[in-house]
């Protein structure tokens, strides 16, 4: 399955690193060649296409492998799933409705050589048990980090951007 990711380029790009880097890879044909046989992100810009492909396949382990072992996912409710086991549970529940996702990477802002903020738009659809299609969309703000082996993984996956509700203390 082809990852549904679109990177804004040219006039749409804000001039940050990712637009030029991705465009260069696509123009040279290296992006599509690399993507066809790799399941690891070797740049900050690769992290989301790998995650989208894993998500759209419904593969819990491949999806969780896109995160650091202590990575976090922030739900719309404000609840934070932390670490591999909690992420597995989030995706076990999520994948029950067989969702798909499309992602537009808007900006990648690097903070040094090993940390980046990734901002973009997403749209997800899923089927209800009665056959109705539900759709959701939003702006994500994620953090990815370069790992000791040179790959990039999600540290913080916040699909709701600044719209996350503050969780109240009991």
What is the distance between the alpha carbons of residues 154 and 156, in angstroms, rounded to a whole number?
A: 6
User: For 10-62, how does the pLDDT look when each residue is reduced to its tens digit (9 = 90+)?
Assistant: 333 333 444 444 444 444 443 333 443 357 899 999 999 999 999 999 999 99
pTM: 0.76
Q: Which residue has the higher pLDDT, 130 or 8?
A: 130
What is the distance between the alpha carbons of residues 32 and 66, in angstroms, rounded to a whole number?
A: 19
What is the distance between the alpha carbons of residues 52 and 102, in angstroms, rounded to a whole number?
A: 7
The two three-digit tokens of residue 58, written as one number: 């419904």
The secondary element (H helix, E strand) that includes residue 65 is none
Q: What are phi and psi of 105, to 5 degrees?
A: -85, 115
Domains belonging to the chain, first-starting first, are: 5-160 (3.10.450.50)
Residue 170 in this model has a pLDDT that exceeds 60:
no
> Cα separations (Å) of 113 from 47, 80, 116, 143, 150?
15, 27, 8, 13, 11
In this structure, are strands 5-7 and 133-146 parallel, antiparallel, or unpaired?
Answer: unpaired
The two three-digit tokens of residue 7, written as one number: 């990177």
Q: How confident is the model at residue 9 (pLDDT cuts 50, 70, 90)?
A: very low
> Residue with structure tokens 């989030």?
90
């Amino acid at each position: 399955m082809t990852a549904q990711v679109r990177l804004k380029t040219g006039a749409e790009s804000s001039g940050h690193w990712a637009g030029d880097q991705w465009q260069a890879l696509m123009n040279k044909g290296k992006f599509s060649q690399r993507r066809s046989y790799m399941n690891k992100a070797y740049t900050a810009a690769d992290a989301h296409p790998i995650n989208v492909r894993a998500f759209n396949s419904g593969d819990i382990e491949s999806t969780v492998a896109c995160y650091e072992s202590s990575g976090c996912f922030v739900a719309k409710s404000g609840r934070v799933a932390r670490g591999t086991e909690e992420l597995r549970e989030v995706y076990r529940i999520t994948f029950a409705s067989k969702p798909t996702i499309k992602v537009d990477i808007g900006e990648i802002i690097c903070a040094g050589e090993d940390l980046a903020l990734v901002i973009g738009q997403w749209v997800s659809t899923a089927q209800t048990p009665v056959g109705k299609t539900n759709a959701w969309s939003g702006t994500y703000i994620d953090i990815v980090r370069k790992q000791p082996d040179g790959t990039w993984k999600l540290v913080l996956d916040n699909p709701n951007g600044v719209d996350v509700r503050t969780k109240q203390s009991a």
